[in-house]
Structure 1
Amino acid sequence: MPALVLLGAQWGDEGKGKATDLLGGSVDYVVRYQGGNNAGHTVVVGDQKYALHLLPSGILSPGCTPVIGNGVVVDPSVLLSELSGLNERGVDTSKLLISGNAHIITPYNVTVDKVTERFLGKRKIGTTGRGIGPTYADKINRVGIRVQDLYDESILTQKVEAALDIKNQVLTKLYNRRAIAVDQVVSELLTYADKLAPYVADTVLVLNKALEDDKVVLFEGGQGTLLDIDHGTYPFVTSSNPTAGGACTGSGVGPTKISRVIGILKAYTTRVGAGPFPTELFDEDGAALRRIGGERGVTTGRDRRCGWFDAVIARYATRVNGLTDFFLTKLDVLTGWEQIPVCVAYEIDGKRVEELPYSQTDFHHAKPVYENLPGWSEDISQAKTFADLPKNAQAYVKALEEMSGAPISAIGVGPGRDETIEINSFL
């Protein structure tokens, strides 16, 4: 049976939670492999809506084992709060596994994130202020705190001391903030040890054994392709690799075991935070997309920037991820437009460009080249097959498929789990 990667093909918020939940009943393990509680998934099951920030969407599927991989950064207080909230709603969270090698978001990581972003002023990146970037920086600088460190107070203390030696200098002398006490941080982190202990495991071993036993493993990215630290619109990106390659490093499963890579693609385009966005709309159409699509960040609470579909970035996502197919979401939001513009290329310094420019300068100056496709007015939320869609909606989907470079296997026509048209089976 396959190992599948499911990831965002735009700037995030494409509907990965719904897609993962849809597959949850058919897979044995769902693995978050990067990011932290700066991501957010909304999953609607029946009349119940669940907002997940750190937990894999598979936690809502009975019989599925949700896994937080080594590539994720974990804020213990957020994780425990999220688990408590689900337990209160009757969701069984006992099968959750957390990699002992995942890094901990400490209180000082959150402090550094917030004061640094404020200090940047107009040059700010638009981070969530949740300590994700500083935690990944500590990981790369080899002064990070891992989940397993919670179970050795001596090692934990030494690592916190090493991290705060420099950070306190920066906080006090550069940002005019108070120094953070080592013993205070250690004491707080130790309070989480017993509560997390039942979940901590060697997830690399667990996942590889599962694949050897022909179990189905689904890898779930936290953000989108264009927010990847290496392949996104740097520096307006996240601090990890939500692209397909990150699934391997963030879980300890080798690339030869991945059989399918599914990109989640919204029928239009959104992004949260600062950075270039060629198709962004500042008019009534943009406001309508935001209102009808409910475009507000699950984790940040910020209004999402909205624009028309961008085929250039869709093609780019297909290439850098090796996408085998797409799940197109929120097609229903476009109902009611007489004409729907689609960005098929960019104009940069008077030249037509059909692929994403590698130069940051060029991308900042990119102007969308639009092709108008006929819209539809019929309600599509009850459609169960592709043939049930209006002809113009069918043509829109086919055009996006041709422009994006990979087949569309499923279409979301509403927020609910059952409001999906499946064209080709994922499993």
Structure 2
Amino acid sequence: MPATVIVGAQWGDEGKGKIVDLLAQESDLVCRYQGGPNAGHTIVVDGETYKIRAIPSGIVAGVASAIGAGCVVDPAVLIEELDDLEARGHRTDGLVFVSGNAHLIMPWHVALDGARERRLGNLQIGTTRRGIGPAYADKATRIGIRVQDLLDPKILREKVELAAGEKNVWLERVYGIEPFDAEDVVAQTLAHAERLAPYVEDTSLLVDRALRDGRDVLFEGAQGTLLDLDHGTYPFVTSSSPIAAGAAVSFGIGPQRIDEVVGVSKAYVTRVGEGPFPSEITGPAQDRVRELGGEFGTVTGRERRCGWLDLVALRFAVRVNGITSLALTKVDVLSDFDEIPVCVRYRLPDGEETEDFPAHQSDFHHCEPVFETLPGWLEELAGPALPPAAADYVAFVAGSLDVPVTLVGTGASRDAVLALQP
């Protein structure tokens, strides 16, 4: 179908990059619709590992890639990524496009992000301290600096001086941090402007023309559904909208133009940072899953918290995204377990059990998982078919959600994916 959204169905880190890379090979344009360089996608191609942070994952497959207005861009990180891709033989000119309406992450955003987390102490959100939240906050208060401002030195200078004046008050008086010199920031940003200017594009028009021409457009988000600013486990969320509807907003197209929504979920669950996590594994099994799955942050290297698959949360993701099919990744990681618990319901504080995600945060924070245990398969996932117990596990997930599982991840490499008939 012409327009497909790839959305994380958990707390991020589901393996979206691999699925995007796979589907990008049959697409004409890949579009990143939210987030910033705190969220990395890891792709393994011919034994070579790519850790993509800013540019859509499709670039590794040589497909035109666009960064939408709903993203925030750290110019230094983007330039570093462009340089690295070109050094490894990947063309970027004429293939990478950045919305002029996307907002820039400025040096004070990074400083404020770290300072706020330190000040919060035990109440910290668990951000990656890359300046993402403060950049989105400035966007909402209408003092943000946009990518298109790089193209007009006069406007850029005026905006930097305005923003620096306000941010320096906070940095000095609240957090005791050295202020930024506006002239230094302007000079540094103008240096970035020269490198990035050729990539600035009207990405809304770009996508509209592609869809009108009947071309295949793939939209990818960062993070995952449960980190959505409006629908996630607030306040332990990101600062944008990873859900599928965010693709239409970011690229300025009507929601009716989205044809398919592919949800990506691990065969278990991971979460980075703070916040409630009902199906979190207790005891040594957590370390076992973490090591087998390589569950460490692409960008930060932080250990990810690991849990058994949570069908209550996954059912919620199916609902709020309109997921039409599911890609179940890292099924191979569970090959080391003779029994595999799956969370099928929550037990609420009043003793009631529910298959629906709680609407009230207090219920979610204090609920207990109700598990059903499935048999493991204790064998490698090799060949064109899954072992019977693994196939039963996949069928159990699909049947519980009433959504077909069409892709199954059986290893780290690009080709370690089985396509299933819906």
* TM superposition score category, shorter chain reference: over 0.9
Q: Does structure 2 conserve the Cα–Cα contact (< 8 Å) formed by 1:383 and 1:421?
A: no
Partner of 1:376: 377
Task: Give distance in 2, aligned partners of 1:424 and 1:93.
Answer: 35
Partner of 2:194: 194
Task: Report the Cα offset of residue 411 of structure 1.
Answer: 0.4
Q: Does structure 1 conserve the Cα–Cα contact (< 8 Å) formed by 2:18 and 2:43?
A: yes
Q: Does structure 1 conserve the Cα–Cα contact (< 8 Å) formed by 2:150 and 2:197?
A: no
Task: Give distance in 1, aligned partners of 2:419 and 2:300.
Answer: 31
Task: Give distance in 1, aligned partners of 2:388 and 2:338.
Answer: 13
Candidates 397, 402, 425, aligned match of 2:399: 402
Partner of 2:90: 91
Task: Report the Cα offset of residue 338 of structure 1.
Answer: 1.4
1:76 aligns with 2:68: no
Task: Report the Cα offset of residue 186 of structure 1.
Answer: 1.2
Task: Give distance in 2, aligned partners of 1:250 and 1:416.
Answer: 30
Task: Give distance in 2, aligned partners of 1:162 and 1:274.
Answer: 34
1:220-239 maps to which residues of 2 (within 5 A)? 220-239=220-239
1:257 aligns with 2:257: yes
Task: Report the Cα offset of residue 166 of structure 1.
Answer: 2.3
Task: Give distance in 1, aligned partners of 2:164 and 2:396.
Answer: 54
**Cα shift readout 1:377-409 (whole Å, capped 9, x = no counterpart):** 1211x232xxx2111111100111112231111
**Cα shift readout 1:71-95 (whole Å, capped 9, x = no counterpart):** 1100010011111111111122221
Partner of 1:65: 64
Candidates 415, 418, 421, aligned match of 1:418: 415
The sequence identity of aligned pairs, in percent, is 51
Aligned residue for 1:223, secondary structure, equals: coil
Task: Give distance in 1, aligned partners of 2:156 and 2:49.
Answer: 38
Task: Report the Cα offset of residue 137 of structure 1.
Answer: 0.3
Task: Report the Cα offset of residue 224 of structure 1.
Answer: 0.4
**Cα shift readout 1:120-166 (whole Å, capped 9, x = no counterpart):** 11110000000000000000000000011011122112212222232
**Cα shift readout 1:298-319 (whole Å, capped 9, x = no counterpart):** 0121010001000001000000
Partner of 1:352: 353
Task: Report the Cα offset of residue 336 of structure 1.
Answer: 2.5
Q: Does structure 1 conserve the Cα–Cα contact (< 8 Å) formed by 2:21 and 2:60?
A: yes
1:290 aligns with 2:282: no
**Cα shift readout 1:360-387 (whole Å, capped 9, x = no counterpart):** 111110110000001111211x232xxx
**Cα shift readout 1:224-254 (whole Å, capped 9, x = no counterpart):** 0000000110000000000011001111122
Aligned residue for 1:191, secondary structure, equals: helix
Aligned residue for 2:336, secondary structure, equals: coil
Task: Give distance in 1, aligned partners of 2:265 and 2:177.
Answer: 43
What code does the residue aligned with 2:369 have?
P
Task: Give distance in 1, aligned partners of 2:226 and 2:154.
Answer: 40
1:138 aligns with 2:109: no
Task: Give distance in 1, aligned partners of 2:4 and 2:112.
Answer: 36
Aligned residue for 1:51, secondary structure, equals: strand
What code does the residue aligned with 2:165 have?
D
Aligned residue for 1:135, secondary structure, equals: helix
What code does the residue aligned with 1:150 have?
L
What code does the residue aligned with 1:108 have?
W
Aligned residue for 1:50, secondary structure, equals: strand
- Evaluate the alpha carbon distance shift between residue 191 and residue 424 of structure 1 in structure 2; reply closer, same or farther with a 3 A threshold: farther
**Cα shift readout 1:253-273 (whole Å, capped 9, x = no counterpart):** 221110000000100000111
Which runs of no fewer than 5 residues in structure 2 stay unpaired? none
Task: Give distance in 2, aligned partners of 1:172 and 1:395.
Answer: 59
Partner of 2:111: 111
Aligned residue for 1:273, secondary structure, equals: coil
The number of residues matched between the two structures is 420
Partner of 2:102: 102
Partner of 1:42: 42
Aligned residue for 1:222, secondary structure, equals: coil
Q: Does structure 1 conserve the Cα–Cα contact (< 8 Å) formed by 2:6 and 2:20?
A: yes
More moved, 125-134 vs 183-192:
183-192
1:211-360 maps to which residues of 2 (within 5 A)? 211-349=211-349, 350-360=351-361
Q: Does structure 2 conserve the Cα–Cα contact (< 8 Å) formed by 1:204 and 1:252?
A: yes
User: Normalization by structure 1: what TM-score?
Assistant: 0.97
Q: Does structure 2 conserve the Cα–Cα contact (< 8 Å) formed by 1:208 and 1:253?
A: yes
- Evaluate the alpha carbon distance shift between residue 424 and residue 183 of structure 1 in structure 2; reply closer, same or farther with a 3 A threshold: farther
What code does the residue aligned with 1:318 have?
V
What code does the residue aligned with 1:422 have?
A
What code does the residue aligned with 2:353 have?
R
Q: Does structure 2 conserve the Cα–Cα contact (< 8 Å) formed by 1:97 and 1:201?
A: yes
1:17 aligns with 2:17: yes
Task: Give distance in 1, aligned partners of 2:401 and 2:294.
Answer: 25
Task: Report the Cα offset of residue 206 of structure 1.
Answer: 0.9
Q: Does structure 2 conserve the Cα–Cα contact (< 8 Å) formed by 1:315 and 1:405?
A: no
Aligned residue for 1:335, secondary structure, equals: helix
Query: After the TM superposition, which parts of structure 1 deviate over 3 Å for at least 4 consecutive aligned residues?
Result: none
